[in-house]
Structure 1
């Protein structure tokens, strides 16, 4: 068992007794090819929860500060996370993400850029659209529906993959693609938040 699989099993063992996870739509996740996995962001546990429920290995972009923490900083690179500087154009992170996508793997990111304190989906950053267009990947929208309260249900819902070829063919902008991604996440939230 590699470290990623071990970490995934460890997270599942630690969190499953605390929250009632319901995973919906994981069967829609493409089994191969580059995928940009985009989710809303409501809690610090979102990255491990998405990683735990996604059927494929996910390479997460994580804020640079986390890599400087004593224990976590040593673990993150071993579970395929890579650092990104917030608030500026980070060329190294961009190159890493595009390389992962073009090699047919999955990059996970939270397009809002930071956690939503009220659970309302915020405007997405154009980087999501940039990676989707330039990474030769399709997009997998995901919505996490909380709140994270002990022994309460937390839903992780995967939507229908968004095919990027039509957007590339007509040279759509990164902003437009980001808006499409965020609208897809919002649609999932609208549909599945009704019946918690």
Structure 2
């Protein structure tokens, strides 16, 4: 068993009873082919929760600063996270992410780019729309509905895949594609809050 699967099981068995976790719609994630899971971002716990609840191995983009911590870098690398420079176009990270999708893997993205301290859904960055338009990936919206408080219910809801076919045909901008994905996440939050 790989380090990823051991970590996933440990996180899952601790978090599920602690946060009374409920996972809804995991069947909306295709069993094969490239997938982008796009989730809101309310806590540092979000990546392990999405990774732990998704039925597939998920690769995450993580801010470069996290890889500067000596103790954290090997953990992040072993759970399939890779660095991205924030606030600029990081060609290496973009290439790696598109390469993973080309190989039929799953990419986990937090379109807001940073945690929402108010728990409200913020604006999405264009990078998400870029990946969605430049790949043939199925885009699955995800909503983490908290709070992360012991004994309180935490829901992770995977929505139906976003219809990207029309957006790709219409040659919409990356920003428009991101806005469309964010609207799908918003609808999930409104429905399950």
Q: Same fold by TM-score, threshold 0.5 exceeded?
A: yes
For residue 173 of structure 1, report the CA deviation from its aligned partner.
1.0
Query: 1:1-196 to 2 correspondence within 5 Å?
Result: 1-193=1-193
For the aligned residue pairs, the C-alpha RMSD in angstroms reads: 0.9
- Give the unaligned 5+ runs of structure 2: none
For residue 68 of structure 1, report the CA deviation from its aligned partner.
1.3
Stretches of 4+ aligned residues off by more than 4 angstroms = none
- Give the unaligned 5+ runs of structure 1: none
1:146 and 1:153 in contact (8 A); partners too: yes
Supply the distance in 2 between the matched residues of 1:156 and 1:184 (Cα, whole angstroms): 14
1:59 and 1:107 in contact (8 A); partners too: yes
* 1:37-84 CA distance string (max 9 Å, x none): 100000110000000001111000001111111221111111111100
Supply the distance in 2 between the matched residues of 1:5 and 1:163 (Cα, whole angstroms): 31
* 1:66-112 CA distance string (max 9 Å, x none): 11112211111111111001111111000010001111111001000
Supply the distance in 2 between the matched residues of 1:72 and 1:22 (Cα, whole angstroms): 28
* 1:106-128 CA distance string (max 9 Å, x none): 10010001000011100100000
Classify 1:56/1:192 alpha carbon distance in 2 versus 1 (closer, same or farther; 3 Å).
same
Secondary structure (helix, strand or coil) at the match of 2:143 reads strand
Supply the distance in 2 between the matched residues of 1:9 and 1:177 (Cα, whole angstroms): 34
For normalisation by structure 1, the TM-score amounts to 0.96
Supply the distance in 1 between the matched residues of 2:135 and 2:101 (Cα, whole angstroms): 5
Q: State how many pairs are aligned.
A: 193
1:63 and 1:83 in contact (8 A); partners too: yes
For normalisation by structure 2, the TM-score amounts to 0.97
Supply the distance in 2 between the matched residues of 1:191 and 1:104 (Cα, whole angstroms): 30
